[in-house]
Structure 1
């Protein structure tokens, strides 16, 4: 009897805290005297908890940012893959980055839905692409520099969301953990790699036979990607 009393007490406490809103919706809609409810039926019976509601717009914008970045890198890939540029190594590099950001966007959307939210594709990224940047006129070094800047910007935004999720007014350990596990370390590696490529490329361009180096650099990408 004592164990039963303890279990009953725990159930009552739980029903009065985390589950009371959904319970009230069900009781009002399905009771012997149904209550007319304005808005969606059983609106509180969802997977939302914590401060996810406040953080959801940032995650939606971050997913849209990854989608835009994916298309940007895809354009860069096709630019270097045409018959004029003929840089299959750079084509492969930017196609790989494009696919990576596309998959990251899908992963963010899955996390949003797991936490009971919905994706809003109209949520504008915090940083818009510059209108005067012409992707289809970039040379090899310019493209690496642009990719580096974009990767650093996305890394900074991940840090901002992570910091926001740890703030006392919008604290949500689940969101902070997700950003830390899925983005921070991977982005640090990407930024470091692109920074190294940019630095190496710039250094060798000072050589008299720079055209040979560009060819060899492209061949290096083809063999390592």
Structure 2
């Protein structure tokens, strides 16, 4: 009985070695499947099923990065001259860009490929196209909403990886380690900035409040 149990485990293991079978077929005297070794790749777990979601998360980070870069340029021009806000949004832009690059590397590491035509899962509102009309207060609110969207998307991918039929702990761990904590910090900071500036605007002259808050941002960034 024990012999048959060991034999069955061996046969299951052997049947799972698809790359080995491809190599055997390709190197046989009469190659099968035109000598292709289509199963010799780095894919395992649920990467094939979650690849589209990861690709969409990449493009979401890229779009968000360019939005923050445009906001940084807007507040850094000679008319606005808000170096604190300029630095804040440039930092957020760089972080989203770095996240996108790191995620592309992870997708390819797992045997996938990047498709930049995969659109983000969340939709932008019509107001998102009016970045150059944003005030300092409105810009913080928009930045907070954007980071929350990214944070929620990261949580969705994390949940799918854990509850997928092929439970991919590797993807869940990667998302948790590289995105959830970082995005939590960004959301918390932007929420704090929004509430602090709102309180300042109620207590004194708006122009003075914004000037002082911009000076504060320059010091903490």
Whether TM exceeds 0.5 here: the answer is yes
Who is 1:35 aligned against?
A: 32
Cα distance in 2, alignment partners of residues 109 and 208 from structure 1: 47
Unaligned runs of at least 5 residues, structure 2 = 1-6
Cα distance in 1, alignment partners of residues 192 and 127 from structure 2: 26
The CA RMSD measured in Å over matched residues stands at: 1.8
Instruction: For residue 96 of structure 1, give the secondary structure of its aligned residue in structure 2.
Output: helix
2:201 maps to 1:205: yes
2:106 maps to 1:111: yes
2:88 maps to 1:93: yes
TM-score (structure 2 length as normaliser): 0.91
> More deviation in 204-213 or 70-79?
204-213
Q: 1:169 to 1:14 in 2, by over 3 A?
A: closer
Query: After superposition, what is the alpha-carbon deviation per residue over 1:169-221, rounded to whole angstroms, capped at 9, x for unaligned?
Result: 25211001111111111111111110000001011111342211111111111
2:67 maps to 1:72: yes
Instruction: For residue 43 of structure 2, give the secondary structure of its aligned residue in structure 1.
Output: coil
| Structure number having the greater helix percentage | 2
- From 22, 25, 32, the counterpart of 1:25: 22
Who is 1:167 aligned against?
A: 163
- From 138, 152, 155, the counterpart of 1:142: 138
Q: Offset at 1:131?
A: 3.1
Instruction: For residue 190 of structure 2, give the secondary structure of its aligned residue in structure 1.
Output: helix
- From 107, 120, 134, the counterpart of 1:125: 120
Query: After superposition, what is the alpha-carbon deviation per residue over 1:15-61, rounded to whole angstroms, capped at 9, x for unaligned?
Result: 5154x2111211121212212439xx311100001111101111010
2:78 maps to 1:83: yes
Conservation of the 8 A alpha-carbon contact between 1:54 and 1:170: no
Who is 2:4 aligned against?
A: none
Who is 2:153 aligned against?
A: 157
Cα distance in 2, alignment partners of residues 36 and 207 from structure 1: 76
TM-score (structure 1 length as normaliser): 0.89
Who is 1:16 aligned against?
A: 14
Who is 2:50 aligned against?
A: 55
Number of residue-to-residue matches in the alignment: 213
Q: Offset at 1:129?
A: 2.4
Conservation of the 8 A alpha-carbon contact between 2:46 and 2:164: no
